[in-house]
Amino acid sequence: MNVPFVDLKAQYNSVKKEMDEAIHRILDNTAFIGGNEVDEFEKAFEELYGVDHCVPVGNGTDSLYIIMKMLGISPGDEVITPANSWISSSETITQTGAKPVFADIEEEYFTIDPNHIEQLITEKTKAIMPVHIFGQMCDMDAIMDIANKHDLFVIEDCAQSHFSEFKGKRAGVIGDAGSFSFYPGKNLGAYGDAGAIITNNEELAENCKMFARHGALKKHEHEMEGINSRLDGIQAAVLNVKLPHILKWTEQRNQNAQLYNQYLSGIDEIDLPKVRNNTKHTFHLYVIRAQRRDELAEYLDEKGISNAIHYPRILPNLQAYDYLHHSCTDFPIANKYERQILSLPMYPELRKDQIKYVSETLINFFRKGKSK
């Protein structure tokens, strides 16, 4: 049996008719940039999240940059973000001219450690960017307390946490703004690059919209210089077709995770992903930890099971951040997990027999190890 890491074709097949029609409507109307579908998506996303403003943009990296830029983050400032994330989180901080300051992650949940955040705050700190990584919510109570105490902005990176919840509140509505990616492999994925910002701050929303459109809300009236970061018509149409199904697909991810948990709970050599109390995890990724990770990954490959590491190097260990001169002891947990984490196949359409096969293969690997 072959088990892919994600299967975008399976999801496309499940909505093929509506999807093909929606894309052809865009072609017929040549509504390639802007237009009804983009406006519709904006409204639908606002409604789903119960927020006042959604600003559709080109991708989930721009959305982070635009938010920070419009919050006034600039050279001389510092922004705190977790050591374990995708580089968008930190590179956008640098793009504003500010300095990325990395915090370690929590032992249990892979998310940014609020205790470490406190230690990193200086008079230059302007914002915290928690990343709800793998679909797991950060400890938003602790983070908001710190932010309020030190008068800091909170920018939630929700690229991996569409519809995750913390105490009944969805990821993206707790801080000053939420940043979303609709990269094809994300929980809500377009068929190309796409992203969005959500916020209840009207002035921020207006400025983000302006900045993303060359600094002009009305054609030729440029109030400032901006960038070009637009959601295009075809991507909006794709997202509009997917939105009515997204909560069901999210639920299927959860059921798949539960099934993995059941099958794998007996293996002492691995740690299964824990879910924070009073939160809803959305399992963008199902990440286990194992001491013999590399050997295990190789074994899975041999058995036709795709797997991945998120991420093989934590951000401070990347060459791009050599200039910060960090050492392993700066981020003990993130550094330890770098060698242990392994992401198993996870997507809504993953079948029960596939989960069973992956799980049995894992069990066999550890049984084999014991008899050696």
Ligand X SMILES: *Cc1c(COP(=O)(O)O)cnc(C)c1O
Please state the closest distance from residue 361 (CB atom) to ligand X, in A. Answer: 27
To ligand X, the closest distance from the beta carbon of 63 in angstroms equals 8
Closest approach of Cβ 139 to ligand X, in Å?
17
Minimum CB distance to ligand X smaller for 65 or for 260: 65
Smaller CB separation from ligand X, 31 or 112: 112
Alpha helices in 151-292 (DSSP H): 202-212, 233-242, 246-264
Does residue 89 interact with ligand X by CB under 6 A?
A: yes
x/- binding map, residues 141-180, to ligand X, per CB under 6 A?
----------------x-xx--------------------
Point out which span in 85-93, 112-120, 206-214, 337-345 binds ligand X (CB under 6 A).
85-93
Q: Binding string to ligand X for residues 119 to 138, with x set by CB under 6 A, is what?
A: ------------x-------
Both tokens assigned to 306: 């795709």
Query: Does 181 engage in binding with ligand X (CB under 6 A)?
Result: yes
282 counts as binding ligand X under rule CB under 6 A: no
Binding track, positions 32-61, relative to ligand X; x by CB under 6 A:
---------------------------xxx
Tell me if 175 sits within 8 A of 148, measured CB to CB: no
**What's the helix, strand, coil split of the chain in %, to 5?**
45, 20, 35
Q: What is the DSSP letter of 345?
A: P
To ligand X, the closest distance from the beta carbon of 91 in angstroms equals 9
165 to 85, 90, 140, 228, 327: CA distances (angstroms): 19, 24, 10, 31, 34
Instruction: Report if residue 111 touches ligand X, rule: CB under 6 A.
Output: no
- The DSSP bridge partners found for residue 128 are 80, 154
Return the residue matching tokens 């721009």: 62
DSSP symbol at 282: -
- The Cα–Cα gap between 137 and 165 comes to 7
* Dihedral sign (CA 317, 321, 325, 329): negative
Q: Which residues bind to ligand X, rule: CB under 6 A? A: 59-61, 85-86, 88-89, 131, 157, 159-160, 181, 183, 193, 195
